[in-house]
Structure 1
Amino acid sequence: MKRMIRITGSHSEEPLSRMICDFGKHKQRGRHPFLAMSISKRLALGFLIPLLIVFLGLGNIGIQSVQLLSNVTTFNQHLLHAYTSLTSNVAILQQTHTNILGALNDAEKSQVTSETLREDRLAAHRLAASYDSNLHAYLQQDVLLHAPELAALFKESGHGEQLDAQLVYSNDASKTWSAYRDAFTQVFDAISTGSISTAQRVESNQVELAYANAMTSLLVLVQFTDRLAPSIHDATMVEEHQLLVIMLLSVCSLLLGMAIVGWLVSSTLVRRLQRFQAVVQSVEHGQFSARIEVDGRDEIAMVGRAVNTTLDAVVGLLDETKRQRDELAKGEELKKLHEALQCEHEALNEANRRLSTLATTDVLT
């Protein structure tokens, strides 16, 4: 029995590679592969695997939460920059048109100097350069289609049409501004050549219409930008809903994994304990040849080997006791036979003495 315990203890110190090899052997033999591991390892495995699934799920949730927060922050920065640029362009467009009208009024004066006209044109071009810079920055940085993560966020929330709408409004604002700039450039060209009547006609027929179109397109783009804030809120709600679903799935995976592993561990334990009970009941009814079927190398297998060894020892002791009892029974029979023979011998001796006495008496008479 000591030898059995020593061998079992050496199994528990085997390397992982031997454990994996035995795992495959148990599987090939049709045995439950978990029997190759101790109960403590099986229980640890039953908790570690579901916890690993939960940690992966929570890690995914954390990463997506950080990405969502980053996307929302980036969008708010885009929105603030876009709104600032567009509102600045509204003021610039109004100031530009005012400067054009002022330059035309200066040109109509008889005593205006060329320096004044040149200053009016330079002021208009400086304002136009600022407008171009703001509009170019908006088209390059604030259009959502140029930010794939933000575009994906809008598409997931069902606001993908706003991406195309923003591009259409932006291009329209750019085109109307280009038309307006070309129109007021013609006005300044006519003023520089002294054709005041031509400048007035261009301003009346082209500049006013181009200004109205440019202002309308710009205001539409500003209003559209205001409507983007509720859309990002909807997108955030969609992402949060997805994160909640992932969290619920992770928790369900944890519970399901623990239930499955617990069932696997408990089912093997219950079946083997039932076999133990059947063997014990057989021994109670005198079937000393019954033995426990030992599978694996876990604690129950160790107990099974110990019980089998104990039963073998008990059966050996019973056989030895029976043999000694048989020998004792044979000794008793021989003793009784010896006593019977001794009694018969004494009876014969007594009869012999009597015969001798009778014979002596007959001779004397």
Structure 2
Amino acid sequence: MAANIKVALVHDYLREYGDAERLLQVIHRLYPDAPLYTAFVDYQQLGTEAKRFAGWDMRTTFAQKLPGIAHPHRWRGLLPYLWENIDLSEFDLVISSSGDFVSKSVLTRAETLHVSYCHTPPRHLWERLRSHPQSLHWYDTWLDTRLRQYDFYASQRVDRYITNSHTAARRISKFYNRPAEVIPPPIKVHGEGQAGDRYYLYAGKLTRQMQVELVVRACTQLDRPLWIVGTGHDAEYLDSLRSLAGPEVKFLGEAPEEALPSLYAEAKALVFPCSSADFSREAVEAMGHGIPVIASQQSGLREVVLDYRTGILFPQPTVESLVDALNEFEGLRFSSVACIERAEEFAESVFVDRLQWFIAQALDAHHAIGVEPERDSFA
């Protein structure tokens, strides 16, 4: 890559330190002088995590001054004006980290290569998830229809797509009619450890979409100890989880990263029940500690968990199916070495090597013939 190339990063918004922000950090380490364009930064919501972005050349949009920053989807109708108001004309390479807030919609010159790491096409626009039913007012339906049309047309501006899994790549192919290179996100892999025998572990967000009630019901039905790490903002859902939980289910709240190794050390397995997830950082982290994973076969974790080698995939997103999987799991043995070796395939160094190679190839093609006809990455 040319040393004098000018690079800009684009990200939906900063209001939590989640999987997308972890990926953004790794990309920023590759391009430390690149400015970051983002819709807004919610410093209050970020709290102490804001220090992770200290020293960055942060450039927010006019959304930073809008009221109601805690509920940004209320003014989602402004998204086209928000992203298209950014001037990226001075840059040779733009890398966007795009999800529900469609930051891939930025405008770039024909000479500029725009590579988008698309975590997913916005699920609220393109799908009605079984675990997250919606009944919309007519205005919301109309607005989502307009935004869906805009999202499709904006998606055609991107030169190259990268995404986290073949599951997400199929979604990009279906909704945008574009191929996507699959480069799983970077994970810090512990590289040692083995499963314990005290409890099953769930780690992640406590939301309806994550279907946490499945593992709570299953472990309560079997009277198996379950430790739950994580929080959520839906008070009604959290109350329902606690009402479903038997005496063997413990809610630990948010755990600091330094506490996770000790939690993994005594866990039988990580249970990840969500059937709509494309990827799971927690699953790879668990395997990196030598812990097998029990996950939904309908999710993107079928690309991560090796069935009957590093865990078990249960077929249906039901309590009965998960109960059967837990019973079967307890009659099997799993190699901690196999789990760790599998996790290392998703290590940060692997991501960096693949991303740099992909961008270098894309830049060469872009400079050689302008815009190269896209190849099908599913071959």
**TM-score class, shorter:** under 0.3
Give the helix-richer structure, 1 or 2: 1
Q: TM-score normalized by structure 1?
A: 0.23
Q: TM-score normalized by structure 2?
A: 0.22
Greater relative CO (CA pairs within 8 A, separation 6+): 1
Give the strand-richer structure, 1 or 2: 2
Structure exhibiting the larger radius of gyration computed from Cα positions: 1
